[in-house]
Structure 1
């Protein structure tokens, strides 16, 4: 039976990689982002390469009613979502008082509000069918306070805790929920910040292995996955230290990033 995956932020980075790997698995796709041209080009490539259906939805997830609009469009097209990949998100870096409050607002709308709203839109149908899956893209930033990335880090902590809570609610009702918590990945995220120094570990993963790890973890019905040994060790050690101590160490590590990062505008994806 053919299933359909809805992927947000699908025009580039991890979103485009999720689309490619899910298409290779035979899933039909709903590709959502703000960039119509890039989505259309990706959809055509995946249709040709894998013989799947690929639908394009253009929506700015920072808009207050974005999730409701997406739900209405899915219903109008008769599209049923079996797998939701909440991948869209972006970050900012700098002293909180110097950051653009509107940018922080949009960041929370995309990273948190739209993610929750889209889950609300598709979960009832999954429950009615007795099956379905949700992948929420968090970050290793979810595991500790992150000075100079305070809004971004807090948003990813929300995503992780939200995912773990949902999984516990629905694991006996046929719904799988996975939080993907990668470290730095070779995507446009760091271009938007204006510095690769934001990858404080100094190393970057490629999107392909990160997405493969996520899909394997989903197949195994894991609660969360942190691809890469160093990332996994850090994620599991940080919560076992006093939070104020972890925050102090994180501040020292990210202080240099603060001074070279630009205050980004949202990416065009």
Structure 2
């Protein structure tokens, strides 16, 4: 693992990264808003306000970088920065980032994907109204996939209280119950391709300051079990979103074909089972 104390974001500081690293692994560059692409590697576009300059101030003035990404893989965090500004003084986090912000940015992202032949991915999707736009884009032949998080399927705004509001804050925010159910159905029917953690390992102290994000790395397996057992999610849908589709994108080797290593299989039981130590093989 490469560790950078202060991660560089300028081309001069990162030009050396793609060639040695992408030969054995998958890398993604987070682009400062309105900067041009400087290497044929995957990019992530933050469309709304983020840390530092990693975002667009408006969708209208974000046209500069896109011609330089023609044919590249780009992941979009779909939030319309102008609509976020309009709602900036709303009383709650979810009202400051309403559904229309995500839908508007989705339209723009799909337009860029179509215009510049991008391989697009929409990150941690949360709004049911946007799913028909994604289906329509695929029907037109666009290369676009979409991910959803465990928290946007498991929680909705009905669970938010004054006491837990800080713990339940993330971007995009939790949505209404109808949106949550739409995400669940979208994962089942294949509209949503990836079950992605959006893992944000903030401490309790950090969350108390109003930081967005939730940790999900250690709850991923339990959540998939909940999907299978409690939500009757088809096993093939879970395999598709957890392993089959993500594996070619991020793994440098084919699934279950790691040289010099045995396949590792995680089995989900439909009911409690008693297992002996000798039942498990290394």
Give the structure-1-normalised TM-score.
Answer: 0.38
Give the structure-2-normalised TM-score.
Answer: 0.37
Larger of the two Rg values belongs to structure:
2
Structure having the larger proportion of residues in strand:
1
Taking CA–CA contacts closer than 8 Å with sequence separation of 6 or more, which of the two structures ends up with the larger relative contact order?
A: 1
